Amino acid sequence: MKVGKSAPMKRFMSRQSPDLMILMVALAYYLMAELGYFLSFGDSGVLPLWPPAGIGLALVVLLGRKVWPGIAIGSLIIVVRAFWHQSITSVEMIIAVSAAVTAGRVVEPLAGAYLLKRLVKKINPFSTTLHTFQFVLVVLLVSIISSSITVLILHFASVVPAELVLTRFFECWLSNVTGMVLFAPLLISMAQPLTMKLDLYKAGELALLVLSAVVVFMMLSVEPVKSVAQYTYPFVIIPFLLWLAFRFHPFISTTALVGVALAAFYFTGNAVGPFFMEHSTAHSIFLVQVYVGVISLSALVLSSAVNERQQAQNDLRKFNENLETMVNERTRALQQEINARHEAQLKLQQTNVELTKRNTELDNFVYSVSHDLRAPISSILGLINLAKKDQGANSMMYLEMIEKSAKQQDYFIREILDQSRNARLEVKPESVQLSQLVDETFEQLSHANLKGVQFERIIEINQPTEFYCDKWRLKIILNNLISNAIRYKNGRQPVIRVSGSVQDHTMQLSVADNGRGISKEHLPNLGKMFYRATDEGAGSGLGLYIVKETLAKLNGSMEITSTEGEGTTVTVEIPEATMPAN
């Protein structure tokens, strides 16, 4: 039987050396024996109460079998106080009797602790009413051990005559039982953790109990009940003991119980009280033992019932707390599952919208590709047939027209490739110089399919800090915006103004022209795949769509303002790309 960490006596005793602990147990056993002799009834030699029996049982229960040498030492020391000591003349017999009595007193608590361990299986045998009754049963059984051994060895030593063996056995057995019932619960309850907090309310209740007891006893000292007060005191005190057992920690109630029991033994031994019988000391002892046994059992059972109810309430509260925690956790899990499903549904809806959009774009793409790719090829084939029939008169003109159709087809294929690469490639941040990219774009357009178109360019770039972006995608945006500004001129020399600035990790870029402009009804549809605001110029309708999709990859935005006949301004805003962690 092991003691939990909360037992203060176990912690205190564990800090002592084994020898010191045995000496302390022996001292406690001896002092309790002296208390038993102090309460003896006159010169009869009969001890109504044997406290060492309860102390020995409690110490073995709390500290284990290793304390038995202390019990043996204490018992041997107290043997010299025995009434039969001078009745034996033989030294050998005295040694034999002392050894037998000591052996019985050692085996008794060891057997009691073993039975409690088998039955109760807890350090506190008063946790439930069932365990309390089991404790009483164990006490009644193990008290037979030392009582029978003591009486039999004394009978063998001719101290107890044969006709008094049963009487002396019964007296010794009752003395042991009373000592165990009183002092074992006191010591065991002392070792239990104090679960009750003595707050202001409890302190007030304890004060009220003491005051009530004082008032009751004062009333008993008033005539006409004064003459019979000594016969009523033992019974008036019972409700107060039950009050303590019902409302306070077992240590408080058992302490009060021991105090009442000791007072009953003391006053009865001094011929005072309702239990004293003038012509029969044995009857007086028996009456007070019955009284102490009844109030002890009542208080212990009530205290156990209260403790059992409190434990049930604590278990129920913990169960409710655990249930509430489980409900809250399950509610959170369900909420998370609902949120996850909602997010999945939103993603599915977005995927469906994106899929519908891609399907529509694919249909438009197939139609436009079949038209825009076949148209230059048909034009080239027709021009070749004309050149064959013409026999070389206009061959140069036909070759230039064929070149134009081929370049148109090449430009369209490049746009498709740009869109494909933009869709599948991840953003690759690198340091960019906006002015350098603008110059490179103008240079490339001057030698590409816009060759021969004279235009004026105005570049205003303000980039005070380094800026990280996907250079390839930025060149696609510049190429499409500037080429559109050059291509859709308004019968006069194109003037292209490119303005850019970098501030607060954001790039703002605008491309303005003095071209033909775009009518208002076309502005909402700009950026759709293959949408053409005009049939003049024969563009593919992919330029602004590619710009829009590329900006989406860069988390950027685009704004188009235009006045028909005056020109168009396209403004884009691009946040700085996050550099990947090394």
Per the structure block, which two tokens stand in for 157? 């030593």
| φ/ψ of residue 559, rounded to 5 | -135, 130
pTM of the shown model: 0.55
pLDDT of residue 5 exceeding 70: no
pLDDT in tens, 175-212: 999 999 999 998 888 877 665 555 677 777 778 777 87
Where do the domains of the chain lie? 1-190, 426-582
Provide DSSP, 108-159.
HHHHHHHHHHHHT-SS-TTSSHHHHHHHHHHHHHHHHHHHHHHHHHHHHTTS
Span between the terminal Cα atoms of the chain, in Å? 61
Contact between 131 and 304 (Cβ < 8 Å): yes
pLDDT at 529: 60
Per the structure block, which two tokens stand in for 45? 């030699």
- Tokens 């048909």, residue located: 378
What is the second-level CATH architecture of the domain 1-190? Answer: Orthogonal Bundle (1.10)
- Reported confidence tier of residue 16, pLDDT bands at 50, 70, 90: low
Closest CA to 433 of 485, 505, 502: 502
Average pLDDT on 391-418 reads: 60
**Cβ atoms < 10 Å from Cβ of 308:** 17
- Reported confidence tier of residue 419, pLDDT bands at 50, 70, 90: low
Tell me: cis bond preceding 224? Omega within 30 of 0 counts. Answer: yes
CA–CA gap between residue 372 and residue 368 (Å, rounded): 6
| CA atoms lying within 13 Å on the CB side of residue 107 | 16
Q: Highest-confidence range of 11-15, 452-456, 555-559, by mean pLDDT? A: 555-559
The lowest-confidence range among 118-122, 423-427, 458-462 is 423-427
Higher pLDDT, 161 or 373: 161
pLDDT in tens, 242-300: 887 778 778 888 888 888 889 888 888 888 878 888 777 888 888 888 888 888 888 88
pLDDT in tens, 112-160: 999 988 888 777 778 788 888 889 999 999 999 999 998 999 888 888 8
pLDDT at 4: 39
The lowest-confidence range among 217-231, 338-352, 475-489 is 217-231
The lowest-confidence range among 232-236, 355-359, 376-380, 475-479 is 376-380
Q: Is 453 helix (H, G, I), strand (E, B) or coil?
A: coil
Closest CA to 114 of 70, 61, 69, 62: 61
pLDDT at 3: 37
- Reported confidence tier of residue 2, pLDDT bands at 50, 70, 90: very low
pLDDT at 375: 55
What's the topology of domain 426-582?
Heat Shock Protein 90 (3.30.565)
Higher pLDDT, 33 or 229: 33
